[in-house]
Structure 1
C-alpha cells in the first residue's frame, strides 16, 4: 500500500442555492388576467404598426416578468440556476427601459395635447391619472408585501429556535461519530500496546503475528487490521482485511501518527471509521484498522454538517441577499407597473378618442359645417351607438337647414321683389304689428316724413302721434280702408312749413290670430296747391273776362261826366269832382287787378335762352333803384358768377325781380311808418351754393314774413296780408321759378348761412335758385353798390 500525497482529507458536498419562497403569485396572475381582458377589445380594431409593436413589447414584458418570478421560486421548468435568473433580470431591465421610453412618449403627447387645448385632453389626463393610480396601487402593494414576506420569512430561518435546533442536530451527529471514534481509538491503542509488548516474539515468528492479529481483531471488533511499513510493505493483516489494501493513506495522517497520536478518518466510501497509529517497537511500522459504521448515520451526519455550513453562509450573507431579492421584486414590480400604466394609457385613449372626436365634430357642426360626421366604427358598442345617433342627428339638422335655406331663399326673393316694388312706389308704406311697432317702411316713407334714420322698430306714435284717431277707426273697421288728411310740420330745411298728407290705413291679418295695420300715404301739398292754382286760374280768367268789359265804359262815362257837367254845377262842385275822381281811381284799381288776374291766368311758357344771370338781374334793378331812391338797393356778386350763363326768360326774370323788390319796398314802407329814422335797405346777393346751382337772394330790413303763416301758404294764389294786395305776386314768382327748373325758398337753409360773405338785414329773405351746366370756383363775394 502506497501513501497518496494529493488526496484531500475528505470531500465536501456540492453547494446548493437555497430556494426563495415569496407571496404574491396569485395577485400577479390576477393582474395578468386583467391585462389580457383589457387587451381583448384592442384586437377588434385595425392597428398601426407602432401600436402593434407597443402591444408586443408589453406582452413580452409581462411574460418576462412571470418567467423571472417563476425562476426565483424554482417553478418548473426553471431549476436552481442563478445564471437563468440573471439573464431574465437583464431582459427585464431592457423591457423596463423600453416601457419607460414608450410611456414617456405617450405622456408627452397627452400633455402636449392638453397644452394645445385639444378636445377631450383634460378628460384624457384625468382618466390617465385614475387608471394609473388603480394600476399602480395593487402592483406597489404586491411588491411591498412580497418584500416584507421575504424579510419576515427569512427572519424565521435565523431565529434562535432554528439556530438551536440546527446546532444541536449537528452536535448530536458529531457526538455519535465522536463516540465511535473514541471507541475505535481506545481499541486501536490497546491493540497497539499488546503488539508492542510482544514485538520481539512477533518479529521472530511472523505466523504468530498473523495469529495474534486475527485474535485481536475478533476480540476488539476490528474486522479490518493491517500492519504496514512506511514504504508500503505489509507485515501482517487480519483475514477480513481486503478494502484496506486498496485505500491510500494520506501523508498528513502518517505525519500525525509519527507524533504518537491516533489518527481517525473515514473511509473512501464513507462507510467505515479508520484509525492509524505508529507501533513503537516495530521498525517504521504502523497499525491501520477499520470498523464498519451504519451508512445512513454517516449520510445524515454529512447532510447535517453541510446544512449547518450552508446555514452559516446564508446567515453571513443575509443583508446582501435581502437587498438582492428585494431589488428583484422591485424590478419585476416596476415592469408589471409600467405594463399596467401602458395598458391604462391605452384604455384611457380608447375611452377618450370617441369623446374627442365627438367634441371636435360638434365644434365643426357648431361653426356651420353640417357635413361633419363621427366615425361609427368604435371599440365599444355604446360609443358606436352614440356615434350613429349623432350622425343621424347631424344629417337631420343638415336636411332641415337645407330646407330652411331653400325656404329663406324663397322668402328673400319675395322680400326683394316686395322691396323693389316698394322702392319704386312714390307713396310711403308703413307696416305695423299688433302693438303698433313699425315692422316695415320703404324709402319713400322715410323721405316724406323727413326721417334721417330707419324708423323700423319704433312705435308709430313716437313717429306720427297725429295718427291716433285714424288708427282707432282702422282697428274698428277690419278689412276696410280708412283715410284722413293730416297736416304735418315738415322738418326739411328747404321745405320747412306745413305739409298735407293723405293717410290710408287698413287692418290686415298677418299670421294666425295676429293682425296688423298697413299704412300708405302721399304728400298732396303740391297737388292741392296745383288744384287751387288751376281753380284760381279759371276764376281769374272768368273774372278778367266778365269784369274788364264794363270797366272801360264806366271809366269813360265818369270822365265824360266830369268834363261835361263840371262847369254847369255851381253848388257843391267839390263833391262832384271828388265823386267822379273816386270812380275813375277805383276803376283804374279794378283794371289793374283784372290785369293781374289775366296775367296769372294766361302765364305764358318761358322762352328760355342762355344768357348772363348777373346782367339780367342788374338790368331788372335799374328801374326800382330810380323809382325808390330813398331806399338803398345794393347787389353783391361772387366773382366766379360774373360769367355764369343760365337758361332763362329775361322778361319773366324781370317780372320776378319787380315782384320781389315791390314786396320788400312795401314791407320797408310799413316799417318806416313805425320807425321813420330807420335806414331802409334792400340787398341782392348772387353766389354759388353748390357746384351745379347758383342762387339770387333778396333780403331787406322791413317787417319780414307774416308770423303764424307757413311759407308754402304764402305762395298760394290770393293769400295776402297787405291792404291792397291781390296775393298773386309770390304765386307768379313760384310759377316762373318752377318753369325755370329752379326753386323759391322763403326760409334760409343752414348751408347758405355758411357761405363766405353771407349776411341778412333782419327782415324777409327770399332765395331764387337756378340750375347750372358749368363748374366754377367758389370765391369771396364782391360787394357792388349800384
Structure 2
C-alpha cells in the first residue's frame, strides 16, 4: 500500500468511524458508569445505609459484580491498546504520537489512584482505632451510668415517700370507714406534701377506691392483678416508665384487706430523652465494636474496588482522550499527503467539539478551497445558470397569464403553457422564430415599445386562432441587457369574458332606453293608420289599391317594430328564474313536438339518453332557450341553397354529464361563420337580415342564471364529415352556478367552444 492510499484510508476511517460504530463510542462511558455504580452500591450496603443487611452472601455478590465490571474495563482497555499497537505496525499517520499520549495518560492515571488507595486505608485504620479506644468507651459508659443514677435517685425517693404515706393511711383506718371526705383530704395533703402528682388506693382487682386530688391531670397505669399478689406491706415495688415519663411505686396497706397504695412521680422530660438517646448510643456502640473486624475488611475491600475502578476508568478515559486528540491530527496528515499528489478536492472532516484542532481543519479546508477556486467558479456559474433557468421555467409554466420572452433580435426565447394556448402554437414550434411571424397582432405594440422610453407599455389586442376570437390585455416590459439591444417580456391576459360582460351590460342599458323611447309612439301611429283606413277607405275611389297597400304597410311595420321593441324589453329585463324540480326529458320532448308541428318540412328528432332526467331549473326559460336554438337551426336550414341537401334534419340530444345537463342541437344547415363566432353571443350581432341579434344573447343569459353556458361548434366536430352547426346548452343539475361570486361579478358570460 502506497503512502497516498494509506493517507486516504486514514481519512476515510477517521471520518467514518464515529458514524459507522456509534456503539463503540458509547461502550467506554457505559462501562465506567456501571463500574462506578457498582462501587457506590457496595459502599452504601457495607456501611449499613440501606435496608439490605451486609451478610456474607450479599458481600460476596457485590464483590463479584465489582470484579466483573473491572474485568469489563480491562477488556476495553486491552482492545484499545491492541488497536494502538496495530496502527503503529501499519504505519498509520500519527501512530507514534498516539502511543506517547496513551503512555503519558496511563502513568498520570495510575499514580493518583495508588496514592488515594493507600491514604484511604490508613485513614480508615486510624479512624477505627480512635473510635474504639478505652477513653471513648469510658465516656459512653459513664454517660449511661449518670442517666441511670438520676432514675435510681427518684426510685429511692419514691420508696421513702410511699412507706411514709402507707403508715399515715394505716393509722387513719377508722377515718376511712367513718368520714370518707376527711380521709380523702388527708390523702390529698399527704400526696401534695411529698410532691406526688398521683396517689390512689386500689383493691386487688385494680379498682380505684380513693384518689388524691392533686390538681395534676396525668393518666397513670395501674399494676396488673397478678403483679399485686406479690406485693408485701414492708417492701414496696418500684417501676420506671420511660415512655410515659414517670416513676411509680405500690405497697400493700396494713389494717386494710387486700388494699394497695399506688403513687407516681413525674420525671424531667429532658433527662428522660437524654437517657433514651444514651441507651441507644451505647447499644449501637456495642454492635459496632462487635463488628469492628468486618468493618475494617469491608472498607478495605470497598476502597480497593473503588481504587481499581478509578484506575481503570482513568486509563480508559486517557485512551479515549488520546484517540480524540490524535484523530484530527491523523486526518490532517493524510489530507496533506493527498494534496501533495495534486488532489485539491480533499476535505478534512471538521468536528466542532475538537476545539482548536477543528479550527486547524477549517484553515486547511479553506486553503484547498482557494487552490481550486478558479476552476470551480466556472462550474458553479454554469450550475447557477441551469438552476435559474429551471426555476424560471417552473414559474412560467405555473403562471395563469401567458408570458412570452423576446430577445433583442425580436425572436421568441421563452413561451409558457398559457401563452401556447393563447397563440395556438407549442414552444418547440416557435422558439428562435420572429415574434412578428407568430403573433403579428403584437407588431404595433412592439414598435411602440422599441421607440418609447418607457419600461412598461400596456394595450389591448384581438387575436383569432382556430376560429376563436379572444381579447387580450398586453403588457410589454423591457429589460436592458449587456449589449445595446433590449429584451422584452410580454404578458398576455385573456379578458374576452370581461369584455363580453361589459358589452352585454352596455347593450342592456341601450335596449332599455330604445324600448322606452320607441314604444310610446307606436300605438298612436297604428291607431291613426287604422282610423284613416276606416274613415277614408270608402271615400277614396281613385288609386284605392295604393291607399290600402300604404295603410297595410304602416300597420304591418308598426307590428314588426313592436315585436322588435318587445325583444329589446325582454333582453333588458330578463326575469329571474324560478328554480323548481323538473324533468329535462319531458321538457325537451314537448319543445321538439311543438317545433316539429310548426316546421313539418324539417325532420326534428329527440334523443333522450336517460329517462326520467330530474334537475332543478326554470322550465319556461329553458324551453324558451331551446326553442330559440331550434328556430335558428330551421332558419339556417332554410338558408341552404336549393339542391345542396335533400331534406333538413335537426337532432336534439339530451344527456347528463356529471353534475351538468347537456342539450345538443345539431343541424345540417349553412353552419356558423368561422370569423367572429364568439361575437354571435353578444347582443345585436346576427348573420340574418331580419334578425335582432338577441336570441343567442338571451339564451346565454338564461343558461348563466342556471350555472351553465352556451357553446357554439361545427357539426363536423361531433360527426366527422357532417355539415351544419352544433349548439350545446349546458346548465347545472342544481340550477345555480357553483361559484356564486363569479356569477355576480359578470352580468353575462357565454363561452364559444370550437374545438373539443
TM-score for both structures, normalised by structure 2 = 0.45
Larger Rg: 1
